[in-house]
Amino acid sequence: MSTDATSESAAATGSGSAGGPELEIRQKALQEELRELVDVVGPGPLVDLLLERAFQLHATDVHLDPMENGLRVRLRVDGMLHDVLELPARVTAQVISRLKILGGMDITERRLAQDGHISQAVLKHHRDIRVGGGPTIHGERIVLRLMPDDASLTNLEELGFESAQLALVKKMADIPYGVLLAVGPVGSGKSTTMYSCLSLRNRPTESVVTIEDPVERRITGVNQIQVDPRIDFTFVKALRGVLRQDPDVMMIGEIRDPETAHIGVRAGLTGVTVLSTLHASDSLAAVDVFHEFGVPPTFIVDAIKCVVAQRLIRVICKSCREEYAVDQVAREALNLTEQEAAAATLARGKGCDACFQTGYFGRTGVFEVLRLFPELRSAVLKQNSKDELRKIVNDSGLMTLDQAGRAKVLRGETTVEELLRLQTAFAI
């Protein structure tokens, strides 16, 4: 699995299946349903139906963007935004006000950015919604982040790890002390990975604590703490308090600043298993971030046991899946020999109602799992360049993000186009 988390937050992975009654809801049917309601019901029922349908479609976000003549409504499904409706200007203010009231925001304040929260109790669902709003030249904009279902905690086996990666992550999640990190950009599923690791340590024999902003999933048996900067209850203050409460396992929602990094590393060195997320492009970049935070190299190599870099990649829709022979573009993208290309069969989605005509349904993870082995530890201590560290890592046989994506294409789980999209992101 943070915005991240939800990003990030958001559900990190999907099975890729396109069955079940919930998934039979079609984009056009939703558009027609909402258009019909605009003229016959108030903003309350309209907003309630929009949220209900967004949950059913497994959307992670709802965007309500003001335009000159109304309000544009879009859902983010599998990482991509899809238009579902344009509300007329006469109902725009009412819809925005309804969402601000639900989120506990000040409806009279239209000049400043605001944050809000729609709780499970309000929705009568086992889901929370984070609300962000602010002014634009055409009026107020609202973005809703639909938090994961508490009951849908994903097992590590379902996230998309390759078999050797999965075995290593399970082993490292069970370490008696040290730091295990999930790194990647916003919305890459870092929080979901850490929650899955946390579930492995949620035992009656261990004291498990999380420090989050916000608490994304409620887990029975885990002491979950919500930080609140408005009353100066920060990650740092929560961390210091928790360390005096005899924890065995501690999950920090995100390492955002030097002080949190220093305390987290010290906790990992003094007998606590620390799980956390970090914004970094790949596993080695995480080491650079800790250098920038001023953590001494000795502490880095002694405390950090494993770094999981990750991205999310879309899965081919099973309802419109078709196979095809490897063409020249695919051969070059996958770096296949003529013999390998002749033996391989790739897959893609043609596009259907079940997948918004995209050819994809659901997402899975692409991972790079780095354990700090002795030679790498020595190079970090010597503060070798990143290029030198990368050579050491590559020579060790590490499966990179690119290689993991390639393996999924060759198994027919995703497409060459998705791999190329990810490769472009790696290069940035």
Query: Tens digits of per-residue pLDDT, 100-111?
Result: 999 999 999 999
pLDDT of residue 398: 94
**Bigger pLDDT: 183 or 26?**
183
**pLDDT (average), residues 23-40:** 63
pLDDT of residue 140: 95
Q: 274 in helix, strand or coil?
A: strand
Q: 149 in helix, strand or coil?
A: coil
Neighbours of 315 (CB within 10 A): 27
**Cα–Cα distance between 115 and 315 in angstroms, integer?**
33
Q: 63 in helix, strand or coil?
A: strand
**0.85 exceeded by pTM:** no
Q: Is 208 left (phi over 0), alpha (psi -120 to 50) or beta?
A: beta
Counting beta carbons within 10 angstroms of the beta carbon of residue 155, is it exposed (0 to 12), middle (13 to 18) or buried (19 or more)? exposed
Band (pLDDT 50/70/90 cuts) for residue 25 is very low
pLDDT of residue 8: 40
**Cα–Cα distance between 69 and 89 in angstroms, integer?**
6
**Bigger pLDDT: 230 or 26?**
230
Which uninterrupted H or E stretch holds 302? helix 297-303
pLDDT of residue 152: 59
For 39-65, b/e burial (b = at least 16 CB within 10 A) is eeeebeebbeebbebbbebbbbbbbbb
Q: What's the token pair of residue 295? A: 């953590």
**Cα–Cα distance between 175 and 155 in angstroms, integer?**
18
**pLDDT (average), residues 369-382:** 95
Q: 388 in helix, strand or coil?
A: helix
Domains of the chain in start order, with CATH, are: 10-147 (3.30.450.90), 156-427 (3.40.50.300)
**Cα–Cα distance between 52 and 145 in angstroms, integer?**
13
Band (pLDDT 50/70/90 cuts) for residue 26 is low
pLDDT of residue 427: 59
**pLDDT (average), residues 276-288:** 93
Band (pLDDT 50/70/90 cuts) for residue 120 is low
Amino acid at 372: L
**pLDDT (average), residues 233-262:** 94
Band (pLDDT 50/70/90 cuts) for residue 150 is low
What's the Cα-to-Cα distance from 269 to each of 31, 257, 352, rounded to whole Å?
55, 19, 52
Amino acid at 282: D
Mean pLDDT computed over every residue of the chain: 87
pLDDT of residue 215: 84
